[in-house]
Structure 1
Amino acid sequence: MIGRKPSLFATIAAAAALAVTAGAAQAETRITYKSAKSTSSYYQMAVQVAEAVQKATDRALSVTVEESQGSVQNVKEAAVREGAYVFTTPPVLIKLAKGNTKMFEDGQDYGDIRALFPIPSLTMHYVVRADADVESFQDLTGKDFIIGKGSFGAREAAKNFEQFGAEPDLVDVELNAAVPALKNGQVAGFATAGSYPAPNVVEAAAGTDIKLLSMSEEQVETTGRTRLVIPAGTYPGVERDTVTTSLPVGAYTTTAMDEETAYQLTKAYWESKPKMAETARWWAGVSPEMLAMMAGPLHPGALRYYEEAGTPVADGLK
């Protein structure tokens, strides 16, 4: 049996459908979003941003989240990665990289790094059992306490203890052992750095009465960090505001990202943020004012969005 030849209409329709499909594939821009360890809150944030951006742009921007060992690695890769590479880091590391100082004395050129938008800050938490008889940092002296190893939180806690005259007995274990040790009464508490509400603090507060140590204004000033207040009720049983310190964190890219992609990414992020805050409270603490704490300059595409949105931009970011 001889089959029919396809009609001219069917042929044209098939060709048109193929062209639309090909056009859609070509229109999709792939972005790599380098964040943090998969167990961290910042990795969760990256996944939330990726999903929100893809939804807001109807997948015109396709975002793939990559695990990282930390902010230093993220910045170092910016010197060698091609295409639309986005990464998160505290602004202070951007400044060090562009000056080729400390951990960035590697001969790489970091001059092409550009800022996009702020994300939730690294917030210091000092968690203690409610029955540990600890009301202040000085009360930690002589008590077993966990700060972990090698992380920003561990370094900052050790520095704060020295600044505040506190001398706890630091237990030499990784931070992932902190919650079980606190719940079992093996330690008085632990320090951790993460955006609030921090998952490990939420876990600690589940079924165990905890307190968060609050800094005095003098102590905050001594740290040289940004003052931040964790609102009362953020964690079960903690019914008062907690004064602590934070380290700003932002999302950055390089000049390898084209202007339109940076514009659409930044626009999608800010327009999606209120919705993200409904399911993850740490987004509620991010505001356009935090842009001032980022290391510049902004990517031209991001700058275009901020100018259209009427967001004040400091001269140092332009």
Structure 2
Amino acid sequence: MKSIRYAVVATAAAALALAAGVAAAQERVTFKSAKSTSSYYQMAVQVAEAMKAGSDGGIIVTVEESQGSVQNVMEVKARGADYVFTTPPSLVGLAQGGKAMFEGKGDPAFDEIRALFPIPSLTMHFVMSDASGVTDFAGMEGKTILLGKGSFGAREGEKYLQLFGLEGKVELAEVELSNAVSALKNGQIDGFVTAGSYPAPNVIEAAASVGVNVLSLTDDQIAESKRTRLVIPAGTYAGQESDIVTTSLPVVAYTTTKMSDDVAYELTKTFWEEREAMGAGAPWWLGVDESLMPTITGKIHAGALRYYKEAGFTLTDANM
């Protein structure tokens, strides 16, 4: 796939004029995210606050709770120009191809979905207590592991146990994931599996209070998983002296071609300009940078493309 690097071409005057135009109109946007109890709902609220601050009140974002990414994509059929939603890029591809959960539910509206910007990925964490002595997947044999139930992390964790020859060789704990840290503290479990944006709050707590080793995957294991490689930098968690190599499910904020180029431009520009400030209050935003752009595997909205070209981001032919 061909990559294209763009140089900065916009003038400050043009950018200021555009920002003023959007602010005067006070654009209102609906941001469809996730369940209100999830970290992704918190992220949506943070994005809404950042948009208001970064546009001087010119962009007002209303956050809507969602039951999940599939619902977010399906609502494209009935939504208008103000609709922004989050979902993994893989689901957009399935919707546009009428496959899997979208079989028999295809709609021309799916072809009009366009990306705006990446948000923190769902990142796999295989967390083992220091006391367990486990430093790799093979060492999990005979240990008691908490996977949780019904979540992406639970399903993915179960898949990895099967892929890496551990099915039936670990004891699966009947404990809710919300109790993972306390179960680790009292020795009820040797480790737990969780998926979320990093740094993950439950992993931070476990690392600080118990001492943990978050397992890295080998290149072969990552290839077997068919997921995206992601590196959690050294020092992210207490006692973590080296990078953690793991897998992730990318998540992206999308809209459709119904949104005007100017609004898409301003949303994207404001997001990237406010990212560092968001990271000061919520560290998971610090993991969002240009390195996540390749996870946007489909088309980017024309207005967002304008910003990326001005800012000198690397894009691919598939993004056009």
Report if TM-score (shorter chain) is over 0.5: yes
The 5 A counterparts of 1:270-285 are: 270-285=272-287
With normalisation by structure 1, the TM-score equals 0.86
Q: Over aligned residues, Cα RMSD in angstroms?
A: 2.1
| Deviations, residues 291-313 of structure 1 (Å, cap 9, x unaligned) | 22213211111112112223232
Report the Cα offset of residue 172 of structure 1.
4.0
Report the Cα offset of residue 54 of structure 1.
0.8
The 5 A counterparts of 1:40-59 are: 40-59=38-57
CA spacing shift, 1:203–1:106, aligned 2, 3 Å: farther
1:220 partner SS = helix
Unaligned residue ranges in structure 1 (runs of 5+): 1-22
Which residue number in structure 2 is paired with residue 291 of structure 1?
293
Q: Which amino acid aligns with 1:86?
A: V
Contact 1:142-1:168 within 8 A present in 2 as well: yes
Report the Cα offset of residue 266 of structure 1.
0.5
Which residue number in structure 2 is paired with residue 137 of structure 1?
137
The 5 A counterparts of 1:155-174 are: 155-166=155-166, 167-174=169-176
What CA distance in whole angstroms lies between the structure 2 residues aligned with 1:230 and 1:313?
A: 23
2:205 partner SS = helix
CA spacing shift, 1:26–1:283, aligned 2, 3 Å: closer
Contact 1:41-1:198 within 8 A present in 2 as well: no
- The answer on 1:61 being equivalent to 2:59 is yes
What CA distance in whole angstroms lies between the structure 1 residues aligned with 2:84 and 2:176?
A: 29
| Deviations, residues 79-117 of structure 1 (Å, cap 9, x unaligned) | 222231111111111101111111112424112211111
Compare 51-60 and 272-281 and name the one that shifted more. Answer: 272-281
Q: Which amino acid aligns with 2:243?
A: D
Report the Cα offset of residue 24 of structure 1.
10
With normalisation by structure 2, the TM-score equals 0.86
Unaligned residue ranges in structure 2 (runs of 5+): 1-20
What CA distance in whole angstroms lies between the structure 1 residues aligned with 2:98 and 2:122?
A: 24
What CA distance in whole angstroms lies between the structure 2 residues aligned with 1:200 and 1:66?
A: 25
Report the Cα offset of residue 267 of structure 1.
0.7
Compare 301-310 and 190-199 and name the one that shifted more. Answer: 301-310
Report the Cα offset of residue 262 of structure 1.
0.7
Contact 1:145-1:187 within 8 A present in 2 as well: yes
What CA distance in whole angstroms lies between the structure 2 residues aligned with 1:75 and 1:116?
A: 15
What CA distance in whole angstroms lies between the structure 2 residues aligned with 1:75 and 1:295?
A: 16
Q: Which amino acid aligns with 1:229?
A: V
Which residue number in structure 2 is paired with residue 260 of structure 1?
262
Contact 2:22-2:263 within 8 A present in 1 as well: no
The 5 A counterparts of 1:190-269 are: 190-269=192-271
| Deviations, residues 100-136 of structure 1 (Å, cap 9, x unaligned) | 1111124241122111111122111011111123222
Instruction: Determine what percentage of the aligned residue pairs are the same residue.
Output: 57
Which residue number in structure 1 is paired with residue 29 of structure 2?
31
Runs of 4+ aligned structure 1 residues displaced above 3 Å come to: 23-26
Q: Which amino acid aligns with 1:248?
A: P
Which residue number in structure 2 is paired with residue 14 of structure 1?
none
What CA distance in whole angstroms lies between the structure 2 residues aligned with 1:31 and 1:131?
A: 49
1:33 partner SS = strand
